[in-house]
Amino acid sequence: AQSVTQLGSHVSVSEGALVLLRCNYSSSVPPYLFWYVQYPNQGLQLLLKYTTGATLVKGINGFEAEFKKSETSFHLTKPSAHMSDAAEYFCAVSEKGGYNKLIFGAGTRLAVHP
């Protein structure tokens, strides 16, 4: 069965530092890939997704992610962290040709300190 692994349940960075959140999926057939963000007391909001085409995907709020098939990875990055980026981030996959069942990783809580 498909699974998603997010390395690091908590990540802490300084304001202005690089943000790197890791995500690996398990299937041999690349799925569709998503990153969602959850701010405190709110629902999930789509940051970006990869379905086809260019493997470097740009999303909202300056985030981007790169699909690497050989590494079965879809890591999320942002060059310079802002205090407002503090939130929980979820990587999710959806199998191609299926219905929209999202399989989520356990989440990574990002803390940004001054």
Partner 1 sequence: EAQVTQNPRYLITVTGKKLTVTCSQNMNHEYMSWYRQDPGLGLRQIYYSMNVEVTDKGDVPEGYKVSRKEKRNFPLILESPSPNQTSLYFCASSLGERGRISRTEAFFGQGTRLTVV
41 touching partner 1, by CB under 8 A: yes
Question: In the block, which residue shows the tokens 């942002």?
Answer: 78
3-state secondary structure of 71: helix
Least Å distance between CB 50 and partner 1?
Answer: 9
Give the residue, chosen from 11, 67, 105, 112, that forms a contact with partner 1 under the rule CB under 8 A.
105
Query: Cβ distance 5 to 23 under 8 Å?
Result: yes
90 touching partner 1, by CB under 8 A: yes
Q: How far apart are CA 61 and CA 70, in angstroms?
A: 27
Q: How far apart are CA 39 and CA 88, in angstroms?
A: 7
Query: Cβ distance 4 to 102 under 8 Å?
Result: no
44 touching partner 1, by CB under 8 A: yes
42 touching partner 1, by CB under 8 A: yes
Least Å distance between CB 67 and partner 1?
Answer: 13
Least Å distance between CB 10 and partner 1?
Answer: 11
Instruction: Give the nearer residue to partner 1 in terms of CB position, either 17 or 22.
Output: 22
Q: What are phi and psi of 69, to 5 degrees?
A: -65, -40
Residues lying near partner 1 in the complex (CB under 8 A) are found at: 4, 9, 31-32, 34, 36, 41-46, 49, 51, 90, 92, 94-102, 104-107
